Amino acid sequence: MTDKIKVAIIGSGNIGTDLMIKVLRHGEQLEMAALVGIDPASDGLARAERLGVTACATGVEGLIELPVFEHIGLVFDATSAAAHHHNEKVLRAARPDLRVIDLTPAAIGPYCVPVANLDEHLDALNVNMVTCGGQATIPIVHAVSGLAKVHYAEIVASISSKSAGPGTRANIDEFTETTSLALEKVGGAEKGKAIIVLNPAEPPLLMRDTVYVFCEPSDPEPIRAAIEAMVEKVNAYVPGYRLKQDVQFEHYGEDGPLYMPGEGARAGMKISVFLEVEGAAHYLPAFAGNLDIMTSAALATGERMASRLTGAPAQA
């Protein structure tokens, strides 16, 4: 059996609409069935209708009443953390076996970063795509932790204020908490910290992510190679993801110890990684890389899950 898996997207805002276009253009195993929102006048729902996709303006309750709902195998939720808790309950009551990919920081299901741990969660009923900053930076921490013990990882995600819509702004607190925890659970750091900056600069700047990793003393070259290889893996499904400059290493010995946040001084190595994420501009402007990396990661996850469900070969 190799039929495509029908999908619905809840959330007709920027992220949901961009994801819909990605599914329509690039879905190998996914077939767009319905876009769901709560604003009948939203541009996303209007665009869905023009593209021949069922548009539903009555939220998750309306979705489960659609005739196509019984044929849907996968639902993406691109609303908010608070809304996802409600949506998950409604969907689970209607279809206990339904697969859900959560693009909010609600974190009901396990954290999922495709290049780091997707294989572990292909059978999960609900997976959480962490945050835009998490998708950009956790792969780097994961690459380092595979070679050296990571004592502390700190990330700073700087995004254009224009790319931060109501959903993003409503989830700021959840962003820092979810990303910090995922740096530990998925990235492998003993302690993680996340900071987000909404940059009001005009013209809008591309998403920039800075990753600081404090680890045990190690040979820099294997770590540099692992980081560069990881960037290539993420770039395979997020084409605008790249290193902004060379990876930097600083060594600290007993004579010049490294200050570990919350722990004091110790010997070790500090790694600084500077990333840039340019959006694919499918629906959103190119500077909105923070949204593009979420929809790209969600699409990659959905494709792999669909391959699992249909038995079709997974895409490279």
State which H helix or E strand residue 219 sits in: none
State which H helix or E strand residue 35 sits in: strand 30-36
d(CA 273, CA 211): 5
Q: Beta 207-215 vs 150-160: how paired, if at all? A: antiparallel
Q: Is 165 annotated as a binding residue?
A: yes
Q: Is 15 annotated as a binding residue?
A: yes
Q: Is 47 annotated as a binding residue?
A: no
Residue 184 is encoded by which pair of tokens? Answer: 């530990």
Q: Is 167 annotated as a binding residue?
A: yes
Q: Is 14 annotated as a binding residue?
A: yes
CB atoms within 10 A of CB 87: 26
Q: Is 235 annotated as a binding residue?
A: no
Q: Is 59 annotated as a binding residue?
A: no
The residues that are catalytic are: 132
d(CA 51, CA 35): 11
d(CA 299, CA 180): 23
Q: Is 265 annotated as a binding residue?
A: no
Q: Is 161 annotated as a binding residue?
A: no
Q: Is 67 annotated as a binding residue?
A: no
- CA distances for 2 relative to 28, 58, 175, 298, angstroms: 11, 32, 37, 21
Q: Is 25 annotated as a binding residue?
A: no
Tell me if 30 sits within 8 A of 101, measured CB to CB: no
Residue 103 is encoded by which pair of tokens? Answer: 């693009």
As a three-state string, the secondary structure of 48-70 is HHHCCCEEECCHHHHHCCCHHHH
3-state SS assignment for residue 286: coil
d(CA 305, CA 30): 10
Q: Is 168 annotated as a binding residue?
A: yes
Binding site feature residues for NAD(+): 12-15, 163-171, 290
Binding site feature residues: 12-15, 163-171, 290
